Amino acid sequence: MKHPVLLLLIFVLFSCEKTLPPEPVLPLPSERQLAWHELEFYAFVHFNMNTFTNMEWGFGNENPKLFNPTELDCRQWARVCKDAGMKGIILTAKHHDGFCLWPSEYTEHSVKNSDWKNGKGDVVRELSDACREYGLKFGVYLSPWDRNHSDYGNPEYLDYFRNQLRELLTNYGDVFEVWFDGANGGSGWYGGANEERRIDRETYYDWENTYKIVRELQPEACLFSDAGPDIRWVGNEEGWAMETNWAPIRRDEFYPGSPNYVELRTGHEDGTHWVPAEVDVSIRPGWYYHASEDHQVKTLPHLLDIYYNSIGRNASLLINFPVDTRGLIHEKDVEQVMKLANAIKNDFANNLALNKRVSATNIRGNSRSFKAGNAVDGNPDTYWTTDDGVIQSSLEIDFREPVEMNRFLVQEDIRLGQRVKQFKLEALVGNNWQTIARETTIGRKRILRFPNISASKLRLSIEDAKASPVISTIEVYKAPKVLAEPIINRNKNGMVSIKAFDSGLHIYYTTDGENPSENSLLYNEAFEWKKKGIIKALAVDAATGSFSPVSVAEFDVVKEKWKVVGELASAKGIENIFDGDESSAWSIEANAPVDVVIDLGESLAITGFNYLPDQGRWNPGIIFNYEFFVSEDGKNWGAPVSSGEFSNIKNSPIWQKKHLDTVQGRFIRLRALSSALEEGRIGIAEFGINTN
Ligand code: FUL
């Protein structure tokens, strides 16, 4: 009789014995890195001397008096970032021109010699206070390259640089990240020397000893550079990490500014140190404020791509605000970042996988501690994992009925290292299992976007990993479609194409000036439309009935017969000026007047012309003073029918429209008399006319 009781007791004792978690896979994140991983989304602010000189890289000889914001309000920056769901702000305390936003004891090149607040101001103080007030983390960018300092390039400069670092890390409270730029050495003012100074990027800064200062003064702070040691650059400034993205890298192969930076985009599967990637990107083309970029703030679809291609690919996201000359984040930037914040909120509003029934092909020790349900319990501290040696395994979520979805989010518990090398996502649609995606790494967070499907089950299969997969979180969402207004284009030959930003949307359009609706023409593919008039379009999400704002494009005569004649007839890129694509341009270096002569192919009653300057970022071609002529035969031109300037075109290089008293002619000539830029380049992105 006693025997079975004993057996039961032994069984109970045995099954209570704790199954041990899997051994970690090295390298592992440190505590400070784990805390940083949680931030995910935070802001960069580029604001100092360049803001006032309209530069990206100042030379170092700027007069400190030029720094003079009229309405500086760091609390506005903090409010915007807080509202946008960002967790901190990193400030360019000193950029390459050496100008300091705090009254450093070690230089005269700082706010203390500006008129701003009579030299008593301190932007670093104001921002660190504002961050504390708004519950944001505060970080500093201190440029290692200093084009102002006479000692730059000599060992003495290092003392100066380190003294400044000490000031920043001692006087302004907690710092969460210290940002060291890889752009180092080159021409500069250097205290009046005005010369080129190259340094050995690998050895000059003696980084190890500089890092020690940060560890000593701000032990919680993460150090950022191309080479970490805590956080690495992602190898581009466009806003993306690669799909394959390992947090580990072979750290000793890098230094700030090292030439093998492309490898930073993927990290190394056999990386020796945990150095996760941070994606840094500006909300505008430039890092610094330029009024000329007010019309180029990134659109919602672009910002969403950046979000999914960074945070959704095992990286963090650092979005830059080029604070303007008032000392404020510009209204347009605020508008766009709030669109992003709202879209993210809506995309991740309702986790369809939360506490759903799940099963797995293998559960470590058959233990409840490692059950499949841990991945969908909403608790990031629990995880599903498998027995040692069992790598290929899958986890299935049973929704019990078809559910519409288009996002899949998965996380590894990185406290045990980054493991997964390859995975697959399948969905049960009707009675068929469909492969939705086949991907490589997961890491701290991976988010997949796919077109809407209606699935009753989802299956995550781990196909390859360094050891047992450790999956802490799986979430599934149905994000609303991005309903931005469609883009309407017509090329030279009169083919009209209309593009919506999201997949699966219906586009409706009109060609009669009426507002489009679901009863209008449905757009399927590019169509020929050579008439004069207005095309309007809108995108509709058929499932929800919601629609985008209406986009409107006005077209005059089709440019099919147009030809550039005369001297520029075969100039390189001249065809770009009427290809309907605003991003392509023709431009040249020009000191003397330049004539662009166009044969319209027929005589027309011309009532005006439209000019869009080159939209390129570096030394674009922009005409300032002009004359415009019309002729019947291309020989006798007479006096200009319009002349003058394109006012404010340098700051605002948008479409310029000029009206004329009607003039008949077959040939037109735009004479560029001067460039809007000192470099003297003139150019055209698009050119058009209005006719009667
Ligand atoms: C680069 C710098 O040269 C840019 O000016 C900007 O600060 C960017 C964040 O890093 O390397």
Series of mean pLDDT values for 10-residue runs along the chain (692 residues): 56 64 98 98 98 94 98 98 98 98 98 97 98 98 97 97 98 98 89 95 94 98 96 94 98 91 95 98 95 92 96 98 98 98 98 98 97 98 98 98 98 98 98 98 97 96 98 97 93 96 93 96 97 97 91 96 96 95 94 94 97 90 97 97 91 89 98 91 97 94
Residue that terminates a domain, selected from 513, 532, 555: 555
248-249/273-274 β-pairing: antiparallel
Cα–Cα distances (Å) from 573 to 568, 578, 584, 614, 685, in that order, read 10, 11, 8, 12, 10
Q: Do residues 328 and 216 both lie within one domain?
A: yes
Q: Do residues 139 and 83 both lie within one domain?
A: yes
The confidence score (pLDDT) of residue 601 equals 97
Q: Give the atom of ligand 1 at the shortest distance from the alpha carbon of 44.
A: 9
Cα–Cα distances (Å) from 319 to 46, 181, 232, 303, 415, in that order, read 10, 16, 16, 9, 27
Asked if residue 6 is part of any domain, the answer here is: no
Q: Do residues 548 and 580 both lie within one domain?
A: no
Q: Do residues 575 and 534 both lie within one domain?
A: no
Asked if residue 678 is part of any domain, the answer here is: yes
CATH code of the domain in which 45 resides: 3.20.20.80
Q: Do residues 151 and 87 both lie within one domain?
A: yes
Q: Do residues 367 and 462 both lie within one domain?
A: yes
Q: Do residues 75 and 221 both lie within one domain?
A: yes
Pull the structure tokens for residue 475.
């979430």
Q: Which residue segment(s) compose the domain that 508 sits in? A: 487-555
Q: How much is the pTM?
A: 0.88
> Residue 668's closest CA among 535, 566, 547, 581?
566
Ordered DSSP codes for 265-289: GT--TT-SEE--EEEEEESSSSSS-
For ligand 1, atom 2, the nearest C-alpha belongs to 183
Asked if residue 20 is part of any domain, the answer here is: no
Q: Do residues 151 and 181 both lie within one domain?
A: yes
Assign 251 to helix, strand or coil.
helix
Report long-range pairs for 510-516 (Cβ below 8 Å, ≥24 apart): 510/535, 510/536, 510/537, 511/535, 515/550, 516/550
Pull the structure tokens for residue 574.
């001249």
Output the CA 181–ligand 1 centroid distance in Å: 7
Residue that terminates a domain, selected from 414, 449, 477: 477
Whether the Cβ atoms of residue 267 and residue 246 lie closer than 8 Å to each other: yes
Q: Do residues 200 and 130 both lie within one domain?
A: yes
Q: Which residues line ligand 1 (CB under 6 A)?
A: 56-57, 181-183, 280, 287
The length of the chain, given as a count of residues? 692
The confidence score (pLDDT) of residue 233 equals 95
Residue 320 to residue 226: CA distance in whole angstroms: 18
Asked if residue 231 is part of any domain, the answer here is: yes
Q: What are the residues facing 393 on neighbouring strands?
A: 462
Which one of 237, 289, 290 would you pick to mutate in the ligand 1 pocket, going by the greatest count of ligand atoms within 8 A of its CB?
237
Which one of 181, 317, 617 would you pick to mutate in the ligand 1 pocket, going by the greatest count of ligand atoms within 8 A of its CB?
181
Q: Do residues 547 and 573 both lie within one domain?
A: no
Q: Do residues 677 and 655 both lie within one domain?
A: yes
DSSP state of 465: E
Residue that terminates a domain, selected from 306, 327, 347: 347
Q: Do residues 535 and 595 both lie within one domain?
A: no
Which one of 287, 289, 618 would you pick to mutate in the ligand 1 pocket, going by the greatest count of ligand atoms within 8 A of its CB?
287
Domain count of the chain? 4
